[in-house]
A and B are shown apart, each in its own frame.
Chain A
Amino acid sequence: MSAFDCRALDERLLDFLYGELLPQEVAELEAHLAGCARCAAEVASFRRVRQAASALTVEEPRPDSLARLLAEATAAVSTAGTPKLRLVAAAPAVEVSAPRLAAAAPVPRAEAIEPIAHAAVARRRAWWSRPAWAAAASFVVVGLGTAWFLRVNPVAVRSSAPAIAEQAPMEAPSGARDEALLAQAPAPATPPQATAAAAPTSAPTELDKHVYRERERADSDSFVAKKRHEPLQRRLAKGAVSRAVSSMDLPDDSFGGLESGRGGGAGGSIGRAPAAPPRLASAPAREPSGHGAWLDEDENPQLARSVLPPSPLAGAPAAKAASAAPKKKIKSSAASEGAIDDLAKLREALAAGRCTDAADAYRSVRTHAPDRLGAAEREGVARCLVRLGRYDEAEHELRALADKTPSLRDEVDHQIADINARRQRPQAAPAEAAAPH
């Protein structure tokens, strides 16, 4: 009590309360407390506060963000070491969480979807706004630009995606590495009918129609003006997400035009891209009013009928992985060429929605170079297998995916539940597909 008076306690009260004192000091202090009722009461009162505070709720953050952050983390480190493969592979995964957000939280959490959706918008706007890029290059830039964009500028994506998007294609290739890739990248070998094959997967939803109506009304506005128009913007963003999800490969133009808002509509923006590759050239068939034109049953009845509902997995990632395929091939010349060829084929097939080809290529890659398979491919293939009615294989792939990437387990479970539902009603086509427009 002698060396330790009330004032000394007061000075160290907090340290004492929170266990930041040395044992010897604690002993001194307790000795004082034993003899000083006033101080003892003070300490006791604060202890009651602490006890009450232990009842403060501790909330669980939504699980969605994990996968995205991990993808970002993967992309970031890959720039340092063996970049290309992981960078590119990681980019598609970035969007994995978008569909899930869309599915899990339909309306009130639209803000959460937006950043990612904006990224998608950015990607679509990016390529056509720079006609100087040859079509092949722009195809690559789309994937690369997005990867770069999300990696370098994750924050900007949220706040001002559209503005920055314009720069993406210009800056993306500024790294020497990227430039080299662009130079070498072969034109995407996707045949025209691939568009048709992929097209049926994007069934127009009520939301889409609504978005279109909105768009037609606001078509003459500048994009910036539209940006201020939050509700519309939000719906557009959501449209982008749901479209990206529901489609194995939605040609970038189809929504790019929609987003441009600079008159002309979808066809118009395509016309501005000078050296459009075949798949783009086929796009003008999609008139704003004819959303359903994407669903050409005549061209590909089988696929049109087997349209899946928006899936929390893959879709967009797979498509983007495909666009990255040529790069990957160049990069890894040292590796086993055959398997890499197959990997490229796989990605191409996935992007084009050619399910049987994808499944075949996948089998080969899995046998010869399983390490090369990223989550995006596995998801894409699982989707294909579902489409082909090969549910057991699909389930197998999904489970393998979940084992490899535990953070995706939730989605995988969701997918498997979906498969099981399909098993119950093998013939029933999803509602959206049944009513093309």
Chain B
Amino acid sequence: MSTDDDSDEALMMRYRGGEVRAFEVLLQRHRKPVYNFLLRSVGEPAQAEDLLQETFLRIIKGSATYEQQAKFTTWLYTIARNLCVDASRRRKHRRAQSLDAPLDREEGGATLLDVTVDRKAVVDRAVIGKQLGERIEQAVGALVEEQREVFVMREVLNLPFKEIADIVGCPENTVKSRMRYALEKLREALDEYRDLAAGVGR
């Protein structure tokens, strides 16, 4: 991973060496995914923006001691996650799950994040109606925090389980079982929806 010149780690080292441009690339690459992670965690766009700033400010601050062996995204999301934990400790966040997020942006969702490369599931957007989108948003928002963060990291950010385990600070198996719960809950929610929207599914 670190042999690649464009890898996060290589860029971080270049930034450490004084090349601000390298940091800019990192920013462009990760701002959006980190923001979405934060947004799904705290629910408030304004707060997510704040935490986004803080996350990268901490990266900047810590850059002097950064070592290439450390996986950049692990570090990045550990910081982001810690900030979320702090934030939710400070005030019980209400989960204003993206009701304000315009659902017609669905198309934008397809491109996802720059880092999200190989999405295995084939997306058939014609099938997924607006309502289904709404439903899944709701269901994800309703997940328990520890399940949701794992789900978002794996599904939306495309981070491998191992890395998620590093970020969350628990064994990979724990991460996987949380993921499993999350998927089962979502499946339930979708099944309900499908039963309601009778006839289409089965």
Interface residues of chain A, those whose CB is within 8 Å of chain B, are 13-15, 17-20, 45-62, 65-66, 68-70, 72-74, 76-78, 80-81, 109, 111-112, 115, 154-155, 158, 407
Contact = CB atoms under 8 A, between A and B. Distances in A.
B197 interface: no
B18 A18 contact: no
A56 B24 CA distance: 27
Interface string B1-34: 0000000000000011011100110010001100
Given A61-B31, A65-B49, A73-B15, A46 B187 contact: yes
A55 B18 CA distance: 40
B149 to A, nearest CB: 14
Contact of B18 (A17, A50, A53, A80): A80
Contacts of A80: 18, 64
A256 B138 CA distance: 48
Contacts of B20: 70, 73-74, 77
Given A49-B186, A61-B52, A155-B57, A19 B120 contact: yes
A20 B161 CA distance: 9
Contact of A112 (B32, B46, B190): B46
B147 to A, nearest CB: 13
A66 B27 contact: yes
Given A46-B183, A52-B128, A57-B101, A72 B60 contact: yes
Contact of A60 (B32, B46, B56): B32
Nearest to B56: A69
Given A13-B180, A58-B109, 12 more contacts: A46-B183, A47-B121, A52-B136, A53-B156, A55-B123, A60-B108, A62-B49, A65-B52, A69-B53, A70-B20, A77-B19, A78-B18
Nearest to A15: B161
**Pairs A-B, 6 closest by C-beta atoms:** A61-B35, A154-B57, A50-B121, A55-B133, A73-B23, A54-B123
A66 B31 contact: yes
A77 B187 contact: no
11 contacts: A45-B187, A56-B133, A57-B102, A57-B105, A65-B56, A73-B15, A77-B20, A115-B50, A154-B53, A155-B58, A407-B24
Contacts of A48: 187, 190
Contacts of B24: 70, 73, 407
B176 interface: yes
Contact of A49 (B15, B54, B123, B190): B190
Contacts of B137: 56-57
A279 B29 CA distance: 46
Interface string B157-186: 000110000000000000010011001001
